[in-house]
Structure 1
Amino acid sequence: MPSNSTSLAPEHVDRVTVRSLTLRVNGLRIHTRVAGAGPAFLLLHGWPQTSYAWRKLMPLLSPHATVIAPDLRGFGDSSKPATGYDKKTVASDLAALLDALHIDKACVVGHDMGGQVGYAFAALYPQLTDRFVFIESGLPGFGQENAMNVATGGSWHFGFNMAGDISEELVRGREALFVRHFVRRDTVGTFDPSSITEEDINVYATALTQPGALRASFSYYRTLFVDRDDNLQFGLKKLEMPVLAVGCDFGYGGGSKATMERVASNVRGVELSESGHYPAEEQPQQLASVLLDFLG
């Protein structure tokens, strides 16, 4: 059983008490927000966010379930080690986290980069994964290469984030500008920019100013080719648990479902309306409704 040192600092989000825990697992500090009771949701945030991304969703889920929202290694208030950003290793942190919390099984919900971590988790730890939700995400080895290629309409930031030390040097001191670009852009940004405020952007930007945070953040991209090889091995055996693929009409649309159909045998697709790439912040009511329906 991993040891843990907990710093209990209750915070109140829309009248729901959220416990803030710092757990020692895999030799790291993993900061986690926990609320509610009942069957477990494990919420895995995307890039370049933190567990703060789930602040609107947790009050909607916690009356019905135990909601666990960690800062993935390298993000927020979690440790920022020099290595271990391939999604298989990050998934092992989460298995140890559930063990430390005495959670036997969870509905794993991953958004964006958290979706890639969630897929590795579901493939490696099916006994811990009751169901899997893949939100606005893609997988190296199963189509994400097109999103990485600007020649096919992909985003420039994949190459930029992989570039090495120059990436950190160009973003350092401009973290808010960097985060704001991704939140406000027209393609795979927000449908309603006011859903993620300047104060919210500053929360994410401030997290990136911590020592090692930019390096850790970019390391999630610098390991994508390792992840591709791992995913191709995982994909030899399709996921058997129920999978919900969530897209958004101003985000990836049906892309998440198309990806999951290549690696899972029991896939249901949902597309949320009037949402860009960040449905937990843009359309939390819609997202909560489909998650609770999927959990049953």
Structure 2
Amino acid sequence: MRFKLGAALLLAIATPVTAQVPPFPDAFHTQEITTNGATIHTRVGGKGPAVVLLHGYGETGDMWAPLAAELMRDHQVIVPDLRGLGLSSKPKSGFDKKTQAEDVAGVMDKLGVRQADLVTHDIGNMVGFAFAMQHADRVHRFVLIDAPVPGIGPWEEILTNPLLWHFRFGGPDMERLVAGRERIYLDRFWNEFSADPKRFDEASREHYAKLYALPGSMHSGFEQFHTFDQDAADNRAMLAAKGKLKMPVLAIGGEMSFYHQMAVVMRAGATDVTEGVVPGSGHWIMEENPDATVKLVREFLDAR
């Protein structure tokens, strides 16, 4: 999935390394937070200014363990599983991103957190954007990583890429076809969206495939995509009514994936956008080059 549009200055940071799904530090605890019609499985650890990490499709909040371990040194780190995914509950509806943004607001409220930095990936970008549009006063800095935002910037052009066939895939028949074959389905994404599929290792694949095989998980995953038309309409309406986001934004693309098109997308939706690139990486930035990803995020959040 290479959306590269031209040359960009790569950051001289660590060589990509392979990483399995590591555990969160022992200092983290989990909470089942009931809010907005869902129960959100949430990892919480550290002290200091809050930062919320939102995952995407094909993974869960577990993807963020290396970044969480770094940020907890001086932040309160909050890592939910999106509704319907991971160990969060599997409601039948509410997968539009405005609704899921209120899940995030509810989690923050239950934890007594008024304002936070946001770090998001994939579907998490879309939930984070909706949250930032609806609760701009609650977001200090915003990092979006390697996925478009429905209705923002070159969304219609992005939809024509054949690698994104799964945006329109789903429904009862597709769910029956995938049932019991979750690993086969997910392998396609882990392989095609990697710069090198070997960097998304076997332990990680087994871990996430088991979570996506939980009852209701694949249905919920398909529903995340089915709401894209509604999400695009909602985002265009919010952008017209509220204007672009004003908080500092870091738009990060994998070198072999969205590259600097992430910044193109976000400049259509925010006024203060910095570009970042994860060198040698495809879409799965925390598996393909976690050291570079952590460094980019840390430097941006520290630039207060």
TM-score by length of 1: 0.89
- Counterpart among 103, 107, 113 of residue 97 in structure 1: 107
3-state SS of paired residue (1:140): coil
Q: 1:191 Cα shift? A: 2.5
CA distance in 2, matches of 1:71, 1:28: 11
Deviations 1:206-260 (A, max 9, x none): 1122221111110011111100110101222100111110011111111111000
Correspondence 1:208 to 2:217:
no
Where does the alignment leave 5 or more consecutive residues of structure 2 unmatched? Answer: 1-21
Which residue pairs with 1:24 in the alignment? 34
Q: Structure 2 CA distance, aligned partners of 1:105 and 1:262?
A: 24
Matched, 1:173 2:180: yes
> CA–CA distance in 1 between the matches of 2:283 and 2:275?
16
Matches within 5 A, 1:72-221: 72-142=82-152, 143-150=154-161, 153-161=162-170, 164-185=171-192, 189-221=193-225
CA positional deviation for 1:154: 4.6
Q: Give a deviation string over 1:134-158, Cα, whole Å, max 9, x none.
A: 11011222223333225xx452111
What are the Cα deviations for residues 72-122 of structure 1, in whole angstroms up to 9, with x where unaligned? 001011111111000000000000100111111111111011101110000
Are the structure 2 counterparts of residues 282 and 256 from structure 1 closer, same or farther at C-alpha, using a change threshold of 3 Å? same
Equivalent residues of 1:60, 1:285 under 8 A apart: no
1:144/1:154 CA distance change after superposition, 3 Å: farther
Secondary structure of 1:17's aligned partner: coil
Aligned residue-pair number? 278
1:9 is matched with: none
Counterparts in 2 of 1:193 and 1:64: CA distance versus 1, 3 Å: farther
Q: What letter matches 1:84 in structure 2?
A: G
The equivalent of 2:14 in structure 1 is none
Give the secondary-structure state (helix, strand or coil) at the position aligned to 2:252.
strand
Q: Distance in 2 between matches of 1:167 and 1:258?
A: 33
Identity percentage over the alignment? Answer: 36
Unaligned runs of 5+ in 1: 1-11
Where does residue 232 of structure 2 map in the other structure? 228
CA contact (8 A) 1:29 1:78 kept: yes
Instruction: Return the alpha-carbon distance in structure 2 between the equivalents of residues 285 and 226 of structure 1.
Output: 36
RMSD of aligned residue pairs (Cα, Å): 1.6
| Paired residues of 1:135 and 1:256 also in contact (CA < 8 A) | yes
Shift of 1:174: 0.8
> What SS does the aligned partner of 2:84 have?
coil
Q: 19-28 vs 43-52, which deviates more?
A: 19-28
Give the Cα–Cα distance (whole angstroms) in 2 for the partners of residues 172 and 247 of structure 1.
Answer: 32
Contact 1:148 1:159 in 2 (8 A): no
